[in-house]
Amino acid sequence: MDRFDFHRVYFIGIGGIGMSALARYFVFRGMEVAGYDKTPSPLTMELEALGMDIHYLDDLSLVPAPFLDPSDTLIVYTPAVPVDHSEWTHFKEHGFRVQKRSEVLGTITRDTFCFAVAGTHGKTTTSSILAHLLRETGTPLTAFLGGISEDFNSNFISEGDEYSVVEADEFDRSFLRLHPNVACITSMDADHLDIYGDQESLRASFLEFASRLKPGGKLFVRNGLPLKGITYGIEDDSDYCIRNIKIEHGTYIFDLGTPERTLEGVRFNKPGRHNLLNGLVAFAMAIQAGPPPDRLAKALETFKGVQRRFSYKIRKDNLIFIDDYAHHPAEIDAVLEAIREMHPGKSILTVFQPHLFSRTRDFMEDFAKSLSGFDSILLLDIYPAREKPIPGVTSQGLLERISNPKKKLVTKQELAKEIKAQNPEILVTLGAGDIGLEADSLKREFDYEN
C-alpha cells in the first residue's frame, strides 16, 4: 500500500482521532512521524510512546530539523486548523507537499478493496463493527477508525493490505476523496451547516459520494433515505432486515434476513435500535468480502463496542453510568430510546456538553426538545473546538428553551456534587468535546462508592 516517495510525515493536529490513526499507519510503515497539537491528551501520549515527536505550541522552531526538508517530508493537516496557523503557513509557502487527511487516506486506500462508511451518524460504530467482523473471519485488512475500538484498543488496525475500512467523513466534503468498492450511507440528517449552508447542499454531497464508487461497486443505504442502493432496515421490506427482536439480559436476539436466506437467533450486545442498524449494515458489507454468513453472525455477538459509544462506565444495582459521544439531536434521541428500552422505568439524569457554537445555534430548538425527554438535565458550557463564540449563542439560552423544569447550568467543578445531590438511578454523559475526560473522573468519583 506504499505510494509515497518520502520518509517523513509531519501532522498539524496530530491528536485528532482520524489524524492519529494515520500517524500510526505511517509509523507502522517505517516512516518518521512528528507533529503539532493544541493540547496534550491520552491519544498524544500514546503517540509519543510510539516514538513520535509532538509539541503543543505553534512554533516552527519546535519542529524537528529533519522535517524542515521539503523534498522528503509530507505535511498532513486537518481542516480544523485555523488559517493563521504559523507552521501551516510556512509549509504552504516554502514548497512542501501539504495535503488534507482525506487526500492521504484516498491515496492509501486507492488500490485496495475499500469499504467506506458514510452518514451523519453511526460511522465510527459501523466501521468498527465491520473491521471486527472482517478480522474475526480472517480477512486481511487495514482499518482507520474514528474512535477507539474496545475490541482492538486502538483506532488503527493493520493486518493486511488487501482490504481497507475507512470512515467517509462528510465534514469539509472529505469523503469525496474516496473511491470505495463497497460503501454505505447510514443517515443524512442536517449537520455541519457551517460548511454546507443548508440540508439540500449536504444531501447533494452524499449523492456525489454515492457516484464515486468504483465500477461494479455496491452501495448500501438505510431504508427510507432518498438514494438508490441495497437497502437495510428493521421490521420492513429491506434487502437486509432484522425481524422478531427480543431482549434477554441486555442482549438483542433476532432473525437476520438476507436476499438469500434468514439466519435465526443472531445475538448482538450493543443497546439501541440505531446500533442494531449499524451492526446490520456492517454485516451486509462484510459479506462482500466472501466470509460465510454464519461466521459473520457469530462474530456480531462478540463485538465489544467503541469507547464513548453507549459505553457503560458503571453498571451496578444502585447506579448505571453511561457515556456517549452524542452531539446531535438525533443522536441524543437514539441514546434516550436505547436507555428506555434496556432499562425501563428508571430515572435518567443527563449531563450534556454542547459541541460547537454553530451547531448549537443551528439546532437550538431541536436540542432543547431532545434534552427535555430526560428526567433531569445538567448543562455545561459550549465546547468551542475550532470556533470563536457567536453572539447570543450560549448554554444559558439552550437551558431556557428546555421545557423540563428539572434543569440546571453547572460548571465542571460542580458536577460531582450536583450528581450526588440528585442521586440518579441512571447517569448519562453526552457530547463530543472534553466531557469524555469528565466521564472518566466521574467514574473514579462514584465507582468505589456504589
The CATH code of the domain that includes 338 is 3.90.190.20
Is residue 2 in some structural domain?
A: no
* pLDDT at site 448: 63
Residue 111: is its pLDDT beyond 80?
Answer: yes
* pLDDT at site 396: 97
| Mean pLDDT (the chain, rounded) | 92
DSSP H helical segments within 154-238, as ranges? 193-196, 199-210
Looking at 45, 74, 100, the residue that finishes a domain is 100
Residues 282 and 344 in one domain: no
CA distance 83 to 60: 16
**pTM of the predicted protein model:** 0.88
Do the beta carbons of residue 378 and residue 417 sit within 8 Å? no
Is 89 flagged in the annotation as binding?
A: no
Residues 95 and 117 in one domain: no
Q: Over the stretch 264-293, which tens digit does the pLDDT of each residue have?
A: 999 999 999 999 999 999 999 999 999 999
Is residue 306 in some structural domain?
A: no
| Full domain range(s) for residue 52 | 8-100
Q: How confident is the model at residue 1 (pLDDT cuts 50, 70, 90)?
A: very low
Q: Over the stretch 336-359, which tens digit does the pLDDT of each residue have?
A: 999 999 999 999 999 999 999 999
* pLDDT at site 195: 62
Q: Over the stretch 247-270, which tens digit does the pLDDT of each residue have?
A: 998 899 999 999 999 999 999 999
**What average pLDDT does the segment 384-407 reach?**
94
* pLDDT at site 191: 58
Is 124 flagged in the annotation as binding?
A: yes
Instruction: Please state the domain count of the chain.
Output: 3
Is 274 flagged in the annotation as binding?
A: no
HSE at residue 351, side-chain half, CA atoms within 13 A, is 29
Q: How confident is the model at residue 102 (pLDDT cuts 50, 70, 90)?
A: confident
H/E segment holding residue 324: strand 319-324
* pLDDT at site 5: 82
Burial class (CB in 10 A: 0-12, 13-18, 19+), 12: buried
Residues 297 and 315 in one domain: no
Strands 97-100 and 53-55: unpaired
**What average pLDDT does the segment 317-326 reach?**
94
* pLDDT at site 120: 86
Residue 198: is its pLDDT beyond 70?
Answer: no
The cell for 446 is 462514584
CA distance 359 to 289: 38
**List of long-range contacts for 392-401, beta carbons under 8 Å, 24+ apart:** 393/357, 393/360, 393/361, 393/364, 395/354, 395/360, 397/364, 398/354, 398/360, 398/364, 398/367, 398/368, 398/371, 401/364, 401/365, 401/367, 401/368
Looking at 49, 67, 100, the residue that finishes a domain is 100
Is 107 flagged in the annotation as binding?
A: no
Residue partners of 42: CB distance under 8 A and separation at least 6: none
* pLDDT at site 79: 79
Q: What is the number of other CB atoms lying within 10 angstroms of the CB of residue 161? A: 15
User: Can you tell me whether residue 372 is helix, strand or coil?
Assistant: coil
Report which residue type is found at 7. H
Do the beta carbons of residue 56 and residue 38 sit within 8 Å? yes
Residue 450: is its pLDDT beyond 60?
Answer: no
For residue 267, what are the β-bridge partners? 253
Provide the b/e sequence for 386-422 (b: ≥16 CB within 10 Å).
ebeeeeebbbeebbeebeeeebebbeeeebeeebeee
Is residue 215 in some structural domain?
A: yes
**What average pLDDT does the segment 120-148 reach?**
94
* pLDDT at site 421: 95
Is 214 flagged in the annotation as binding?
A: no
* pLDDT at site 296: 97
Q: Over the stretch 113-128, which tens digit does the pLDDT of each residue have?
A: 999 999 988 999 999 9
Looking at 273, 301, 329, the residue that finishes a domain is 301
Is residue 343 in some structural domain?
A: yes
* pLDDT at site 29: 92
Is residue 230 in some structural domain?
A: yes
* pLDDT at site 412: 95
**What average pLDDT does the segment 181-195 reach?**
77
Residue 207: is its pLDDT beyond 70?
Answer: yes
Is residue 105 in some structural domain?
A: no
Residues 315 and 261 in one domain: no
Is 125 flagged in the annotation as binding?
A: yes
Residues 259 and 386 in one domain: no
CA distance 409 to 416: 13
CA distance 114 to 184: 12
Do the beta carbons of residue 76 and residue 104 sit within 8 Å? yes
Is 100 flagged in the annotation as binding?
A: no
